[in-house]
Structure 1
């Protein structure tokens, strides 16, 4: 069911990992066996209340600020200069962080876009989606530990973060101006069509497809490209590829593509 409904590969080698993750839910529900848990998940009540909880513990959410920084350099040096020339102020540049996890990626994009807008003002909006409801709550909260924010250049950290008041447990929160640029929505890549509010100029889908088999990857990329404007830019993760796939993308640089 995890594979067919959510696309996540679940070979026998992942049995122990899955058991460890689901044990948290057994403990929370005071259940004593995986059979009891399965019976509950597939019951009408479980489908309403537990299914999303289960998927939240099954999904992997690994992310960092400025992860694969070459992509953000490409935004500043190529995408934004080309896409903002003559752009109407009322027509925002739309960017989709597909698989946004706890928000580090879309907020990094927002910082980079804001920095560029200081030299050439333009309007932009960022749309973040993820399968996990719990991780989307963290992205909306936009509070990060000192360790998570240590990779951010100090000049950007001072400009775009508010420091928490607890000196022992140091945290930083994204400033309201950036949080307002991001809208969030739960989305399952296995849906036949993606219910998103508009088409996009740029799509980031990085380090998500590695959890799918190649056939599923191709389907997902094509569905994402249906929402990418002609000439739009598509970013993949460093370990992902479109080799031998029938998708409407032309490579510009490794892991960077243009919609054709």
Structure 2
């Protein structure tokens, strides 16, 4: 029989093993590095969050303090072996299927019919920038595949990128908890999702014909990026809110450089282009056309 005090003992052990709070200088050093390397701002109000997220890395590597862990991160070995783990820890991967559904309505009912009239059979190139664990690009693949069934000759390619290696591993695997599919229309669930043979696991997997339509790559927005061929559509939603204003404007300018004239940029409803000098005109709420 389980001892009722076992949970309390485990909790006490966790408290004993918990490192001392992160010193100011260590937090400032780490937050400045994260901002420079990843673009994410970590104000003092985020210190507790950062401490909590780093505790697992301290335990895995057997470091007794945040100071010793940060010293390791800044060593040659740490830069080579631990940097991606640190980035995985600090990046946020909040996402869902059919997030901000009006974007997909606009894509299917307004943008795509016009695009076909203008471009005929040319393949549509789409980029999901900051794709997290894959729910956005797989949503796009389902929507575009369904659209292609009604428009003969329509074809497309989807590039999906993220800075988090851990998120990309989940995206490529394409296995999700069953409760994450509530927003997917039933007809698309039937066509494009596979349920686990072991129903007790309550897992679904994206069908192989949809998985094959998405190419995943790791990309850091703080590094220069460009593509050999320009994009027709860029989805970058609820990503740049974590960056400061100058970084946001620089990124949007780079996105514009990656867009064909007449191409579309979709951003999150919590984001704004106000005050930025960009070659974009608004086509719909949080949807912009490159001019």
Q: Tell me which interval the TM-score lies in, with the shorter structure as reference length.
A: over 0.9
Q: Deviations over 1:32-56 (max 9, x none)?
A: 1011101111111111110000000
Instruction: Tell me, yes or no, if structure 1 residue 74 matches structure 2 residue 106.
Output: yes
Which residue of structure 2 aligns with residue 253 of structure 1?
284
CA distance in 2, matches of 1:198, 1:56: 29
Q: Which has the larger radius of gyration?
A: 2
Which residue of structure 1 aligns with residue 171 of structure 2?
139
Which residue of structure 2 aligns with residue 21 of structure 1?
53
Q: Secondary structure at the match of 1:144?
A: strand
Count of residue correspondences: 258
**CA deviation after TM superposition for structure 1 residue 123, in Å:** 0.7
**CA deviation after TM superposition for structure 1 residue 234, in Å:** 0.5
Which residue of structure 2 aligns with residue 129 of structure 1?
161
TM value normalised by structure 2: 0.86
Q: Secondary structure at the match of 2:108?
A: helix
**Which structure 2 residue ranges, 5 or more long, are not aligned?**
1-32
Which residue of structure 1 aligns with residue 247 of structure 2?
216
Q: Secondary structure at the match of 2:288?
A: strand
Answer with 167-176 or 77-86: which moved more: 77-86
Q: Deviations over 1:181-232 (max 9, x none)?
A: 10011111111x2144531000000000110111110001111111110000
Q: Map 1:191-210 to 2 at 5 A.
A: 191=223, 193-210=224-241
**Which structure 1 residue ranges, 5 or more long, are not aligned?**
none
If each structure's helix is expressed as a fraction of its own residues, which one has the higher value?
2
Of 233, 237, 257 in structure 2, the residue corresponding to residue 226 of structure 1 is 257
**CA deviation after TM superposition for structure 1 residue 8, in Å:** 0.1
CA distance in 2, matches of 1:195, 1:242: 21
Instruction: Tell me, yes or no, if structure 1 residue 165 matches structure 2 residue 197.
Output: yes
Of 91, 112, 124 in structure 1, the residue corresponding to residue 143 of structure 2 is 112
Q: Output the aligned Cα RMSD.
A: 1.1
Instruction: Tell me, yes or no, if structure 1 residue 156 matches structure 2 residue 188.
Output: yes
CA distance in 2, matches of 1:67, 1:29: 37
